[in-house]
């Protein structure tokens, strides 16, 4: 029974981080109508930023959030404005070509990282990296708990932004009907640029929060792009609330898979759930929650 | 106030408007009549810059709207209540209305305008926290109109506001359109519901196959043989 609860806790903590990854992806999906296949690579870039700041400047990995998030926000802005938005203006180009463009961006980011940092595995070791505290016999990893709390705060912040501010409302308006949004005076091209920035910033925070408990190499982006995609499908494309549940489900699935089936099957369990959702609940969790 | 001149509009190879010209004076209710596919909605979309003309110009209060991006048009005091309502259906009624008041001027008066509109549309006040998509067709049309009014426009364009509504609701919607005009806003109305609109409008234009074929006052239209035959079925 203790193993079960231990697994549950580990799954939920990890799920909180996955939710951050999924939220960025789903916002981009909703507003742009495309899947961002460079999402994991954005995260990889943020992880290298955190690594560099930790390694060369001695900054605490969590404080690097204030640098990694704005940096990726800017990177997202630039990519949307100069690489993706121009593709929309040419009518003969299918929207699918924007997706292809994100694949290209992903490759470039990965190879640039390999060029600068080589393919070696890197990690960030802090004094608290392997420490844990115990509540009722169940251990809570300190870095994972800090990451979870920060992830919850960021998610809360995002929802307040989306619900309470005019810019947040405009983002939701564009994702529901961009033509009507233009009539309201919303510049949808600008909203797309901002949304890509926010999506990249969110996944950057996940990368930074994950680094103290993970390792880093240039190809780490690919698996996380897949994870982000799975979370978005689980939650229902474009649904923000769904992305949170999707993240938690994937975190739990991986955690239980690793404990009860075997460490090697961690990713497999996530993919099996992904297939089951596609077969039996094609709309994702959105079908159940309606938001 | 609004002056449309020599408008040609094409979708790809298909030309839908041919040399369309008309005018709306301040304080008027002007109706654009025409059958399905005559180009009425395209005319409104061109005025809102959602569609670009291949020739011609749209002038509103001295500004050339055909050179303004679509999201900029609302800043000139022109609101477009689009065909099919186009609400943000997953957002609440209140959020929809708030999105109508993003211009600087409208934002400053947002609270007051909301109160004013809830007075006019008491049914919406009961539903402020409800997702717009769950409302009845008539209520959704009210939200669409109210959302347009949130920007405190000088001219409001309505694109078939009676479409798909129950007869009792149609009467209500036209009363609202007249009320909007009484409140000092100029109205450009696109309709197929000829009976109602000719009785309340100041002037009307007929659009047939993308060309303006007839223009005159509402009274003249009601006595016109061609209109009687083609649109009133008398």
The CATH number assigned to the domain holding B228 equals 3.40.50.300
Contact A183 B107 (CB under 8 A): no
Tell me the H-state helices in chain A.
2-32, 39-57, 65-79, 85-89, 96-117, 142-164, 166-176, 178-183, 188-210, 221-235, 240-260, 266-280, 286-289
The answer to whether the CB atoms of B86 and A179 lie below 8 A apart is yes
Domain count across chain B = 2
Residue B123's SS3 state is helix
Is B148 found in the same domain as B115?
A: yes
B70 touches chain A (CB under 8 A): yes
Question: Which chain A residue has its CA at the smallest distance from B76's CA?
Answer: A185
Residues A106-118 have pLDDT tens digits of: 999 999 999 999 9
In percent, the amount of chain A with pLDDT more than 90 equals 69
* Residue B183 shares a structural domain with residue B69: yes
Residue contact A170–B99, C-beta within 8 A: yes
Note the maximum CA span of chain A.
62
Mind listing the pLDDT tens digit for each residue in B163-179?
Answer: 889 999 999 999 999 99
Residue where a domain stops, chosen among B152, B180, B204? B152
B185 and B142 fall within a common domain: no
Question: Which of B44, B99, B143, B144 has the most A C-beta neighbours within 10 Å, making it the best mutation to test the interface with A?
Answer: B99
ipTM score of complex: 0.91
Sequence-separated (6 or more) residues with CB below 8 Å from residue A121: A215, A216, A217
Same domain flag for B68 and B3: yes
Say if residue A262 is exposed, middle or buried (CB neighbours under 10 Å; 0-12, 13-18, 19+).
exposed
* B147 in the same domain as B166: no
Lowest mean pLDDT across A226-240, B5-19, B147-161: A226-240
Query: Measured between alpha carbons, how far is A209 from B154 in angstroms, rounded to an integer?
Result: 52
CB-based contact, A172 to chain B, within 8 Å: yes
Mean pLDDT, chain B, whole residue set: 92
Kindly determine whether residue B107 and residue A166, on different chains, have CB atoms separated by under 8 Å.
yes
Higher pLDDT, A192 or A127: A192
Q: Please name the residues between 130 and 159 in chain B that touch chain A, using a CB distance below 8 Å.
A: 147, 151
CB contact under 8 A, B71 and A291: no
Same domain, B57 and B39: yes
Which of A169, A183, A186 minimises the CB distance to B98? A169
Question: Residue A291 has what pLDDT?
Answer: 52
pLDDT of residue A93: 63
pLDDT for the residue numbered A290: 54
Domain co-membership, B5 together with B52: yes
Listed residue (B148, B143, B155, B145) closest to B30, CA to CA: B155
- The mean pLDDT of chain A is 91
Q: Nearest 5°: phi and psi at B81?
A: -95, 105
Distance CA(A93)–CA(A87), nearest Å, equals 7
Mean pLDDT (whole number) for A184-194: 95
Instruction: For residue A85, give every residue at least 6 positions away whose Cβ sits within 8 Å of its Cβ, in sequence order, or none.
Output: A189, A192, A193
Six-digit token pair at B68?
A: 């303004």
Has residue A278 got a pLDDT over 60?
yes
In B, minimum Cα distance to A92 occurs at B12
Q: pLDDT band for A285, please (50, 70, 90 cuts).
A: confident
Mark whether B112 and B36 lie in a shared domain: no
Please tell me whether residues B125 and B199 are part of one structural domain: no
Domain boundary among B152, B183, B211: B152
What is the arithmetic mean of pLDDT over A22-39? 92
- If you search the block for the tokens 């409140």, which residue do you land on? B183
- Residues A133, A140 contacting (CB under 8 angstroms): yes
Residues B22 and B56 placed together within one structural domain of the fold: yes
Which of the four pLDDT bands, split at 50, 70 and 90, describes residue A42? very high
For the record, the structure tokens of B135 come out as 């409302």
A169 touches chain B (CB under 8 A): yes
User: Residue A91: what pLDDT?
Assistant: 64
Please list the helix, strand and coil fractions of chain B in percent, rounded to the nearest 5, in that order: 40, 25, 30
Domain final residue pick, B91, B118, B152: B152
Q: Which long-range contacts (CB under 8 A, 24 or more apart) does B60-69 make?
A: B60/B1, B60/B2, B60/B3, B60/B155, B61/B1, B61/B154, B69/A187
Global pTM reads 0.92
Q: Do B86 and A180 touch (CB under 8 A)?
A: yes
Q: From CA A213, how far away is CA A204, in angstroms rounded? A: 15
Could you give the CA distance from residue B204 to residue A163 in angstroms, rounded to a whole number? 43
Q: Output the CATH code of domain A2-289.
A: 1.10.3470
Give the pLDDT band (50/70/90) at residue B223.
confident
Confirm or reject contact between B69 and chain A (CB < 8 A): yes
Handedness of CA B60, B61, B63, B69 (dihedral sign): negative
Residues of chain A in contact with residue B70, where contact means CB-CB under 8 angstroms, are 182-183
Residue-number span of the structural domain to which B98 is assigned? 83-152
Query: Does any CB of chain B come closer than 8 Å to the CB of residue A167?
Result: no
Q: Are residues B164 and B233 in the same domain?
A: yes
* A179 CB within 8 Å of a chain B CB: yes
Q: Are B15 and B64 found together in one domain?
A: yes
Residue B102 predicted with pLDDT over 70? yes
With an 8 Å Cβ cutoff, are B91 and A184 in contact?
no
Task: Report the residue count for chain A.
Answer: 291
Measured CA to CA, the distance from residue A33 to residue A200 in angstroms comes to 16
């Amino acid at each position: 029974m203790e193993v079960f609860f231990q697994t549950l806790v580990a799954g939920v903590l990890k799920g909180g981080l996955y939710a951050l990854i999924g939220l960025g992806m789903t916002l981009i999906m909703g507003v742009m109508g495309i899947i961002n296949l460079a999402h994991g690579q954005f995260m990889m870039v943020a992880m290298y930023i955190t690594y560099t700041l930790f390694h060369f400047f001695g900054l605490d990995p969590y404080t690097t959030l204030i640098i990694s998030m704005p940096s990726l926000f800017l990177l997202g802005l630039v990519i949307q404005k100069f690489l993706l938005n121009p593709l929309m203006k040419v009518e003969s180009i299918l929207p699918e070509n924007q997706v292809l463009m994100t694949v290209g961006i992903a490759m470039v980011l990965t190879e640039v990282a390999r060029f600068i940092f080589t393919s070696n595995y890197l990690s960030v070791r802090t004094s608290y990296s392997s420490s844990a505290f115990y509540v009722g016999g169940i251990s809570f990893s300190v870095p994972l708990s800090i990451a979870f709390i920060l992830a919850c705060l960021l998610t809360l912040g995002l929802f307040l932004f989306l619900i309470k501010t005019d810019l947040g409302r405009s983002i939701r308006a564009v994702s529901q009907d961009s033509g009507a949004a233009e009539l309201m005076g919303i510049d949808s091209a600008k909203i797309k640029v901002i949304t890509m920035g926010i999506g990249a910033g969110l996944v950057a925070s996940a990368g930074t929060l994950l680094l103290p408990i993970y390792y880093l190499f240039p190809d780490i982006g690919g698996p996380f792009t897949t994870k982000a995609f799975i979370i978005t499908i689980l939650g229902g494309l474009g649904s923000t609330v769904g992305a949170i549940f999707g993240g938690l489900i994937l975190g739990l699935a991986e955690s239980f898979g690793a404990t009860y089936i075997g460490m090697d099957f961690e990713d497999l369990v996530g993919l099996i759930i992904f297939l089951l959702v596609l077969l039996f609940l094609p709309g994702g969790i959105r079908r159940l929650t309606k938001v | 106030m609004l002056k449309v001149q020599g408008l040609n509009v094409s979708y790809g190879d298909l030309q839908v408007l041919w040399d369309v010209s008309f005018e709306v004076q301040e304080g008027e209710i002007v109706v654009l009549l025409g059958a399905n596919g005559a180009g009425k909605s395209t005319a409104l979309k061109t005025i809102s810059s959602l569609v670009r003309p291949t020739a011609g110009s749209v002038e509103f209060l001295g500004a050339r709207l055909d050179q303004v991006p679509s999201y900029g048009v609302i800043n000139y005091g022109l609101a477009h209540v689009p065909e099919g309502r186009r609400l943000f259906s997953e957002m609440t009624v209140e959020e929809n209305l708030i999105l109508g008041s993003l211009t600087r001027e409208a934002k400053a008066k947002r609270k007051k305008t909301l109160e004013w509109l809830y007075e006019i549309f008491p049914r919406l006040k009961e539903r402020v926290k409800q997702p717009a998509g769950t409302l009845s067709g008539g209520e959704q049309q009210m939200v669409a109109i109210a959302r347009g009014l949130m920007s405190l426009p000088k001219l409001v364009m309505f694109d078939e506001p009676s479409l798909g509504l129950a007869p009792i609701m149609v009467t209500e919607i036209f009363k609202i359109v007249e009320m909007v005009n009484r409140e000092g806003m100029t109205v450009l109305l696109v309709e197929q519901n000829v009976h109602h609109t000719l009785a309340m409008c100041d002037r009307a234009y007929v659009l047939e196959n993308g060309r303006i074929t007839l223009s005159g006052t509402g009274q003249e239209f009601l006595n016109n043989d061609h209109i009687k035959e083609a649109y009133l079925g008398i």
